[in-house]
Chain A
Amino acid sequence: MSDQFSAWQLILNGDAALFEIVRLSLAVSLSAVALAALVGMPFGALLALSRFPGRSVLVVVLNALMGLPPVVVGLAVYLLLSRSGPLGAMGILFTPTAMIIAQTILIVPIIAALARQTIEDLWTEYRDELTAMDIGPAGRMTTLLWDARFSLLTALLAGFGRAAAEVGAVMIVGGNIDGFTRTMTTAVALETSKGNLPLAMGLGLVLVAIVLAINAAAWGTRAWSERQVG
């Protein structure tokens, strides 16, 4: 990506490197959200509906893990995937796959903790009806997850926001390789360290604009869906 142009000029010129960076950022973060939802939502729902000794400890720990520092997650995943680490033979360090793994780990707690709270609140409302219909544990989870879908969408957006904004994890496990593992956030960090501050700021604003657009799209989808089925 040329240093001479501002971010806006790069967009207008259809700069290939910029679009590749945007594409990679979205691919990594959206994949991480999808995987984290697959893991985190059922787990959060299960936790909301179960009672067992030590449950409150688990809830507190899960909530606290929402604040996992990205750079720490990145370092941990790096040590796992390094050639001299336990999973080195997989050879996925410094690839987008490693970045997805790191971001998924980072945002699973966010999605699970928010899902747990949402489902727990909904359960107090639905408990009598669902018990009266003799619905088993699996049915309860799926019914509540579906009925809470609009609130859960906010949890997904929170996870996406965290993933799209972080730089520590993807920098360490991805290596910020030009044309291969460079994302919006690592590009901003790089341009800043090179002293190209206007370009860095421009890239940052592009990132913010994209995240805003995604949130707007999610909101629109939700509004449309609510009109259909309330």
Chain B
Amino acid sequence: MAFRFSSFASALLLSVLASLAPAGAQDRSIIVASTTSTQDSGLFGYLLPIFKAKTNIDVKVIAQGTGQALDTARRGDADVVFVHAKSQEEKFLAEGFGVKRFDVMYNDFVLIGPNSDPAGVKGKDIAAALGAIQAKAAPFVSRGDKSGTHSAELALWKQTDVDIAAVKGPWYREIGQGMGAALNTAGAMNGYVLSDRGTWISFRNRGDLEIVVEGDKRLFNQYGVMLVNPEKYPSVKKELGQTFIDWLVSAEGQAAIAGYKIDGQQLFFPNAE
């Protein structure tokens, strides 16, 4: 009886493993390293089925912070990167890990804060707002994870003549997590946080939070896409990856991006050349 049981178990295990094994040569799929904000906004859930219907290519998205996504590509574990921190992307290109960078779309950042506005930032521009937050030591949540949003936040602090590394105190909370987690934390501690508009629009747990500063030109957030360099990693699926990039910047892809809306609001604005 022990023998029969163990042979049944082996057969079951083999069938499970077979169903889980990668498909191999027939596999029309690419791995795209992208950001949590792009994923959390729901854009991929909208775009990828359209792309698949047209090309029969499965796009597998690994959503991490921009810094982490670029590092994943540096290790050769992704075929395409789709992130939003131009300076980090250009460094990536300069190091030879990317083939070419294409602008795809933009959205903007917004400063989120409690509707009680303890630092009195409403009506100010972004630099003055951050300066007020620092002066009043109002709670501020930072992504702290080398993401595109984090890079943008640090660049904005520079604009205010505040050396954030020097003056950050207990009011400045670096959480090392994604945008949704940062918004949750800001809501819980009645604090301020810089967010991309896309994540904010699709965020469900707003509590007392609202947009306190928006529209400032310095809050512009550009997204770029690159193919990982097949000369560094021959395993990169360059034809399939390039097909995806070409589609994103094509009229059709750009129209699809513009077509993504939540509650009637467009989240991303296509701007490929």
- Contacts from A to B (Cβ < 8 Å): 3, 27-28, 30-31, 34-35, 82-85, 88-89, 91-97, 100, 146, 175-178, 180-181, 192-197
Not counting A83-B75, A193-B179, A193-B181, a sample of 13 additional A-B residue pairs whose C-beta atoms are within 8 angstroms of each other reads A27-B20, A31-B20, A34-B16, A82-B77, A83-B235, A85-B75, A89-B235, A91-B22, A92-B22, A178-B44, A180-B58, A195-B206, A197-B205
Task: List residues of chain B with CB within 8 A of the CB of A181.
Answer: 60
Task: List residues of chain B with CB within 8 A of the CB of A30.
Answer: 16
What is the minimal beta-carbon distance from A32 to any residue of chain B, in angstroms?
A: 10
Do A97 and B60 form a contact, CB below 8 Å, given A193-B177, A194-B40, A194-B204? Answer: no
Majority-rule SS of A interface residues: loop
Do A178 and B61 form a contact, CB below 8 Å, given A193-B180, A195-B204? Answer: yes
- Complex CA gap A88/B31 in Å reads 15
Q: Are B233 and A83 in contact (CB under 8 A)?
A: yes
Task: List residues of chain A with CB within 8 A of the CB of B120.
Answer: none
Task: List residues of chain B with CB within 8 A of the CB of A193.
Answer: 36, 40, 177-181, 184
Partner of A177, one of B42, B45, B60: B60
What is the minimal beta-carbon distance from B158 to any residue of chain A, in angstroms?
A: 28
Q: Are B202 and A194 in contact (CB under 8 A)?
A: yes
Task: List residues of chain A with CB within 8 A of the CB of B166.
Answer: none
Do A84 and B31 form a contact, CB below 8 Å, given A146-B2, A194-B203? Answer: no
Q: Are B180 and A88 in contact (CB under 8 A)?
A: no
Task: List residues of chain A with CB within 8 A of the CB of B164.
Answer: none
- Complex CA gap A96/B21 in Å reads 7
Q: Are B16 and A27 in contact (CB under 8 A)?
A: yes
Q: Are B16 and A31 in contact (CB under 8 A)?
A: yes
Partner of B63, one of A34, A35, A176: A176
Q: Are B40 and A94 in contact (CB under 8 A)?
A: no
Do A177 and B76 form a contact, CB below 8 Å, given A195-B183, A195-B205? Answer: no
**CB-CB contacts of B222-242 with A at 8 A, as 1s and 0s?**
000000000001010000000
Cβ-closest chain A residue relative to B178: A193
Task: List residues of chain B with CB within 8 A of the CB of A27.
Answer: 16, 19-20
What is the minimal beta-carbon distance from A110 to any residue of chain B, in angstroms?
A: 19
- Complex CA gap A206/B106 in Å reads 38
Q: Are B77 and A94 in contact (CB under 8 A)?
A: yes
What is the minimal beta-carbon distance from A224 to any residue of chain B, in angstroms?
A: 14
What is the minimal beta-carbon distance from B189 to any residue of chain A, in angstroms?
A: 15
**CB-CB contacts of B160-203 with A at 8 A, as 1s and 0s?**
00000000000000000111110110000000000000000011
Q: Are A94 and B16 in contact (CB under 8 A)?
A: no
Task: List residues of chain B with CB within 8 A of the CB of A196.
Answer: 204-205
- Complex CA gap A88/B21 in Å reads 16
- Complex CA gap A193/B178 in Å reads 7
Task: List residues of chain B with CB within 8 A of the CB of A94.
Answer: 31, 60, 62, 77
- Complex CA gap A228/B180 in Å reads 54
- Complex CA gap A192/B181 in Å reads 7
- Complex CA gap A194/B60 in Å reads 19
User: For chain B residues 1-33, which have a beta carbon within 8 Å of chain A?
Assistant: 2, 9, 12-13, 16-17, 19-22, 31
What is the minimal beta-carbon distance from A78 to any residue of chain B, in angstroms?
A: 8
Task: List residues of chain B with CB within 8 A of the CB of A35.
Answer: 13
Task: List residues of chain A with CB within 8 A of the CB of B42.
Answer: 3
Do A100 and B20 form a contact, CB below 8 Å, given A31-B13, A35-B13, A84-B76? Answer: yes
What is the minimal beta-carbon distance from B235 to any residue of chain A, in angstroms?
A: 6
What is the minimal beta-carbon distance from A151 to any residue of chain B, in angstroms?
A: 16
Q: Are B22 and A95 in contact (CB under 8 A)?
A: yes
Q: Are B203 and A195 in contact (CB under 8 A)?
A: yes
- Complex CA gap A192/B185 in Å reads 11
Task: List residues of chain B with CB within 8 A of the CB of A175.
Answer: 31, 60, 62
Would you list the 5 A-B pairs with minimal beta carbon distance, nearest first?
A: A83-B76, A195-B205, A193-B180, A175-B62, A194-B180
Q: Are A34 and B77 in contact (CB under 8 A)?
A: no
Task: List residues of chain A with CB within 8 A of the CB of B61.
Answer: 177-178
Task: List residues of chain A with CB within 8 A of the CB of B17.
Answer: 31, 97, 100
Cβ-closest chain A residue relative to B182: A193
Q: Are A195 and B233 in contact (CB under 8 A)?
A: no
What is the minimal beta-carbon distance from A12 to any residue of chain B, in angstroms?
A: 21
Task: List residues of chain B with CB within 8 A of the CB of A177.
Answer: 31, 60-62
Q: List 30 A-B contacts (CB under 8 A).
A: A3-B204, A27-B19, A31-B17, A34-B9, A34-B13, A82-B75, A82-B76, A82-B77, A83-B76, A84-B74, A84-B75, A84-B233, A88-B235, A93-B77, A95-B20, A100-B17, A100-B20, A146-B2, A175-B31, A175-B62, A176-B63, A177-B61, A178-B44, A178-B45, A180-B58, A193-B36, A193-B178, A194-B40, A194-B204, A195-B180
